[in-house]
Every structure is written in C-alpha cells, then in structure tokens.
C-alpha cells in the first residue's frame, strides 16, 4: 500500500512494514531502512519520522565544499577587509575548489587533506603558502560544522613546517651609498625610500600618505591608510587599486619624524589632500614604487633587493643601536613584541661581539 508517497506493506505475520531511503551507495543505488508496526497508522508514523530524520541527515551528509564556500563568503564579507576577502577568494578558487568543490564536507578526512598538502608541496608551492591555504580551508570547515552540526576530525592534519629565513639587512656600506645617492638625486620617490629606511614604513603605507597626515608643529607622522592592488571581486581575474585602513588596528600609529627628514617634508609640502608620493589627489601604487626603487638601485650600483628590505634594515638598525623593542614594535605597527623579535630583529655577529665586549669591559 502507498499513501502520500509512504510505502507500506502487510507481512505474512500480520505486521505492517514501511521503508524509506537513508542514503546511497558508491554506485548511486538507494539504501533503505525498514520499520514495523502492529497497525498501518503505527508503521506510517514511523516512516514519516524516519524520513524527516533521514532527510536532514542526507542534507548534511552530501553538502559539498562548493556549496558551503558560497555561504561562508556571505558570512565573512562584512567582517574582513576587501583585500582579505580577495585573498580568501584567490586561494579557494585557484587551489581548493578545483579539487574539493564537489566533495561532501563529511567525506573529508585528515588523510585526504594531508595528501592534498603533500601534492601542493610537490607542485612547488612554498610551505608558508600551503599553510595559508589550509588555514582558510579549515576556517570554512569550522563554519560548516557549526552550521550543519556534523563533526570532522582534523586534528591529525599536519601543516608543513616553515623554515625561518634570515633576511639580511642592507649592509652599512650600501646603506651609506643609497642615502648619498638619494640625497644627491632628491625627488618624491627618493623621499619615499628614505621614509621606509629611516622610519620603517611599509610600501603601501608610504603610497597612502597624504600631506594632511603630517603634523609639522609636533613633527609627527600619522599612519592612517594603505594602498594595495587586489584581485577584483567579480571573478574576472582583473586587479584594482584599493585605498583602505592599515593592515591591522596596531598599524594605526603616530611616528616621530627625524629632524633630517623634516627638512624634506618642509621642502616638498603640498596641498593637504594630495598624496605625498604623487603630489596630486591620486596615489602612486606600490608596484610602480617597486619599479622606481629597482631603477634607483641599479643607478646607485647597489645589489638588487626587494623594497621590504628597507623596513627590515630599519628594524635591525634600531635593535643594534639599543632601541627598546617595545617602542620599536609600536613604531613598526606590530600587534606584539614577539612578532617584532621573531620577524625583523636579527642582530648580526658584529653587533653581538660589540655588546659582549661592552659587558666584558665592565668586569
């Protein structure tokens, strides 16, 4: 007998038997659960209850990573910066969805994810980048578990170990050559380079500086924005420039301007709403600043290196001259002193010898 889609039959022993689908095997064949009742009504009631439970189980059981991804994006879009959202989307759409998009979340396991991690490393991705991919993947899976109530055991996912690379600062000879060259060929670009080497600013922060950020009376520079090029949100892989708040809350900061740099602030002073590097109401983008810096290094006959090395050199110089690390952390805009110590402050052997000799002379 079938009533309203409920399949119930009468057995030879007089009992009523109902059945409902609880899942599908690997070949897509339906798997059934059977229930029994002394009356038709009892069997029907058990089938209806079972169908409701099974329906929720199947919904959870077969919800895919791709479906959760769309939901998760809507959940995080209003609580992260546009650049952060673009970073999430790039990692998912390039690395995660092509492999796991159609996979039910419930089918994921530590073994499967570890296999994926090893494949990415074998493809040549850095351990640091693979860690970042898995971190955002786990954030999505955490959302899926909270939203749908299933449990995944991912404690055995092994993130690749990142080897810390010692970033050598620009040596003293090349620092002097660079500063001499910049002073002899002073321009807004040269001025921006000095801001990083002598104040530790990030390239995006330098590009985002406006003249209204300079307190000429108290010789203070206010860091209030950053400039970045990010992937557009419409999925066409085009990029765009965004002007936003600095990297984190601690990156909002005020920095004392050195006296010798103050001379250049006065010399180049412009309209309050103009960007310092461009001299107009539109910023120079970081990529352009990088290109200009490379040309200056070549002209000054200095070994090629990344613009960020200026910031690292500033931090190391400060540490080597006894700058207290807590204050240095605030100048750099770090969220913790440990970040400053671990990432930038790597005094060299010359400095170590000088400090040890200084102590020994007092004995």
Per-residue model confidence as pLDDT tens digits over 315-349: 888 887 878 888 888 888 888 887 777 776 655 66
Predicted confidence at residue 24, as pLDDT, reads 67
pLDDT tens-place string over residues 275-307: 999 999 999 999 999 999 999 999 999 999 999
163 in Cβ contact with 191 (< 8 Å): no
| Residue-wise pLDDT tens digits, 227-246 | 988 776 555 567 788 888 77
- Give pLDDT, residue 326: 85
Q: Residue 82 in contact with residue 226, Cβ under 8 Å?
A: no
| Least confident range of 124-138, 184-198, 229-243 | 229-243
Task: Give the pLDDT score at 145.
Answer: 84
- Most confidently predicted of 101-110, 260-269, 347-356: 260-269
Smallest Cα–Cα separation from 118: which of 103, 133, 105, 106? Answer: 133
323-330 contact pairs (CB < 8 A, 24+): 330/250, 330/253
164-167, long-range: CB < 8 A, 24+ apart? 164/342, 166/346, 167/309, 167/312, 167/344, 167/346
Mean pLDDT taken over the chain:
86
Residues 6 or more apart whose CB falls under 8 angstroms from that of 233 comprise: 82, 85, 86, 89
What is the average pLDDT across 92-99?
A: 94
Closest alpha carbon to 209 in 197, 229, 224, 198: 224
């Amino acid at each position: 007998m079938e009533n309203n889609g409920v399949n119930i039959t009468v057995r030879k022993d007089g009992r009523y038997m109902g059945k409902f689908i609880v899942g599908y095997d690997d070949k897509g064949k339906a798997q059934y659960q059977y229930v029994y009742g002394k009356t038709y009504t009892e069997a029907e009631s058990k089938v209806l209850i079972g169908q409701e439970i099974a329906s929720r189980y199947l919904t959870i059981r077969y919800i895919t990573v791709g479906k959760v991804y769309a939901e998760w994006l809507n959940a995080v879009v209003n609580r992260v910066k546009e650049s952060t959202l673009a970073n999430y989307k790039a990692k998912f759409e390039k690395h995660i969805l092509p492999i796991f998009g159609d996979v039910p979340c419930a089918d994921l396991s530590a073994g499967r994810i570890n296999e994926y991690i090893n494949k990415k490393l074998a493809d040549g991705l850095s351990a640091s980048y693979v860690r970042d991919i898995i971190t955002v993947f786990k954030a999505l899976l955490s959302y899926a578990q909270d939203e749908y109530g299933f449990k995944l055991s991912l404690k055995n996912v092994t993130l690749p170990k990142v080897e810390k690379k010692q970033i050598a600062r620009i040596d003293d000879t090349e620092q002097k050559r660079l500063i001499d060259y910049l002073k002899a060929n002073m321009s807004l670009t040269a001025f921006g380079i000095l801001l990083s080497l002598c104040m530790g600013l990030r390239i995006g922060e330098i590009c985002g500086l406006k003249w209204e950020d300079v307190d000429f009376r108290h010789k203070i520079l206010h860091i209030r924005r950053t400039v970045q090029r990010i992937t557009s949100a419409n999925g066409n892989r085009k990029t765009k420039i965004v002007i936003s708040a600095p990297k984190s809350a601690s990156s909002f900061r005020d920095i004392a301007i050195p006296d010798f740099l103050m001379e250049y602030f006065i010399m180049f002073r412009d309209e309050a709403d103009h960007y310092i590097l461009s001299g107009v109401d539109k910023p120079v983008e970081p990529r352009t600043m990088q290109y200009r810096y490379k040309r200056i290094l070549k002209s000054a006959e200095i070994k090629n290196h990344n613009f960020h090395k200026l910031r690292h050199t500033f931090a190391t110089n400060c540490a080597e001259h006894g700058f207290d690390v807590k204050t240095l952390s605030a100048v750099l805009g770090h969220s913790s002193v440990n970040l400053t110590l671990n990432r930038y402050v790597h005094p060299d052997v010359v400095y170590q010898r000088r400090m040890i000799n200084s102590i020994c002379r007092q004995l």
